[in-house]
Amino acid sequence: MSAGARPALDGYLVIDKPAGWTSFDVVARARRILGEKKVGHAGTLDPAATGVLPLAVGNATKTLEYLANAGKSYLAEVTFGVETDSHDIDGVVTSRRDASHLTREGVEQALAGFRGEISQIPPMHSAIKIGGQKLYELARRGEEIERAPRPVVMHRLDLVDWTPPVATVWVDCSKGTYIRSLARDLGETAGTGAFMSNLVRYRTGPFHLCEAVTMQDLAERDLPWEWPELSAHPDAVVLDLPALLLGELETLHWRQGKPILAVDPAAGDCRAYSQAGEWLGIGRADETGRAWRPAKVIGSAS
């Protein structure tokens, strides 16, 4: 980009989602503020939750699928003795039980059974589709159907604070984990019932809460000129992939969709750059392992 050139709105924007907003609310507002239609989000946050919601803008949407598999970190409050139909604070209270006997040691013991690889039944109030219908649509009609358990991994599950009847828990987990379901299951294990009374997401993949901006801050920025300091490069979520550095002719061939011979046996995906450091997109190994084929191309051959 030459001096004075208008910055292109390509990259990841890390938003600190406010309580009461849906993830789609954030996307819709960001589109209006940025004047950019190509905006997508990774990892839906429930309306009551706050924290990290990464937005892919412009050509960063080409790498959004890689962020979908990323792990996440949360600080969750679990209130024992109360159950709700959605397992979180937005739900209707369905039962109350005495939790006065529950101790810190009892909570620690319950948490121990949920570390590592576990099976988790997703909540009815979720966007998962079964038989072509989203579960939350069925739940709104008062219906409940059987859901198959799903494998998830709790890499870290620590009790940060115990102020009866509320446990504050730090969670590092794999994709597909429902913290609401964790709260429900902890309540069942403790024999008191429980619901998720607060949730803050601190991390999604490489993006952390400390680098997030609020929607108000975004609206007050001098855009597009402040975009480079606000955003992360579109390749930020694929830095674990092998990198190809292409010469001038190879760059042209890449942009024409032609395969690039691999120096070493090719497998999986890669990220490609020109010798000038320009990001060219994502490649995929062909069936022989002898070449990389452009899968997502940034820029044109002209």
The residues that are catalytic are 46
Q: Hunting for tokens 């003795």 — which residue is that?
A: 81
Phi, psi of 193 (to 5 degrees): 75, 160
The letter for the amino acid at 56 is A
* Residue burial 259-284, b: 16+ Cβ < 10 Å; e: rest: bbebeeebeebbbbbbeeeebbbbbb
CA–CA separation, 233 vs 217, rounded Å? Answer: 20
Plot region of 269 (φ>0 → left; ψ -120 to 50 → alpha; else → beta): beta
Contacts for 192 with CB less than 8 Å, ≥ 6 apart = 80, 81, 97, 98, 99, 102, 165
Smallest Cα–Cα separation from 38: which of 65, 4, 61? 61
Task: Report in angstroms the alpha-carbon separations of 211 from 15, 16, 71, 142, 185.
Answer: 9, 9, 17, 40, 32
Q: Per residue in 221-258, is it b (16+ CB within 10 Å) or e — as a string? A: eebeeebeebbbebbbbbeebbebebeeebbebbbeee
Report the amino acid identity of residue 125: H
